[in-house]
A and B are shown apart, each in its own frame.
Chain A
Amino acid sequence: DAKTTQPPSMDCAEGRAANLPCNHSTISGNEYVYWYRQIHSQGPQYIIHGLKNNETNEMASLIITEDRKSSTLILPHATLRDTAVYYCIVGPSGSARQLTFGSGTQLTVLP
């Protein structure tokens, strides 16, 4: 089972920041937080990941709380093309490298 909890859906106005929360209270010390998204039935697209520190790349920012029990993915200026299901995934753990997907958050960017 997925080790993360996300809201099932969120809306965001085009051009505004989209803040997607994720709870991962049972994360272990060596596990990373990964974010992927899936547009329609396309392959999951990697967005960003982090361990302890906040991270930023050309797509998004990742804010991880100090206790690492939750995180927020920030899309600074959402566009209609950002409408997708966003998955917060914790791992890999030990020798197991597979990603365990939950149900994710359906983000709808509204015009």
Chain B
Amino acid sequence: EPEVTQTPSHQVTQMGQEVILRCVPISNHLYFYWYRQILGQKVEFLVSFYNNEISEKSEIFDDQFSVERPDGSNFTLKIRSTKLEDSAMYFCASSELGQAKYQETQYFGPGTRLLVL
């Protein structure tokens, strides 16, 4: 069964450093998402991406964040200068875009646990 994969599973970085989180969405999916979950809190939407551009973004997704689809398979989230409060689980998701609403179902990856020291 196809699945969303994410690398690395864990990332430890120093405050102020740049990190890139990588995701490989399901191959025939066209809509991509990043969510995050701070320890003990809700899963929060960050950004959605379609047709090589950002479709929607939340207030969390400020200028420190960027997303890119550098090739036909990867989808990345970059945090330019990490802060302590960026420590969280980051989940990538993808959905098959189609006219039928059932194709909107989002499938999530296992997540990257980011720890900023």
Contacts and interface: CB of A to CB of B under 8 A. Distances in A.
Interface string A80-102: 00000001000010011111111
Nearest to B43: A101
Given A44-B91, A102-B42, A97 B104 contact: yes
B107 A92 contact: no
Nearest to B108: A43
A101 B44 contact: yes
Contacts of B108: 36, 43-46
A2 to B, nearest CB: 8
B109 A97 contact: no
B106 A46 contact: yes
Given A98-B33, A98-B56, A101-B44, A49 B105 contact: yes
Interface residues of B, number: 29
Give the secondary structure class of B's interface: strand
Q: How large is the interface on A (under 10, 10 to 19, 20 to 34, 35 or more residues)?
A: 20 to 34
Nearest to B104: A92
A97 B56 contact: yes
A43 B56 contact: no
Interface string B61-105: 000000000000000000000000000010101010000011011
Contacts of A32: 101, 104
A43 B111 contact: yes
Nearest to B50: A97
Contacts of B43: 38, 44, 87, 99, 101
B101 A41 contact: no
Given A45-B108, A96-B56, 15 more contacts: A43-B108, A44-B91, A49-B102, A49-B105, A51-B101, A92-B104, A95-B56, A97-B31, A97-B95, A97-B104, A98-B48, A99-B43, A99-B106, A100-B45, A101-B42
6 contacts: A32-B104, A34-B105, A41-B39, A43-B4, A49-B102, A101-B35
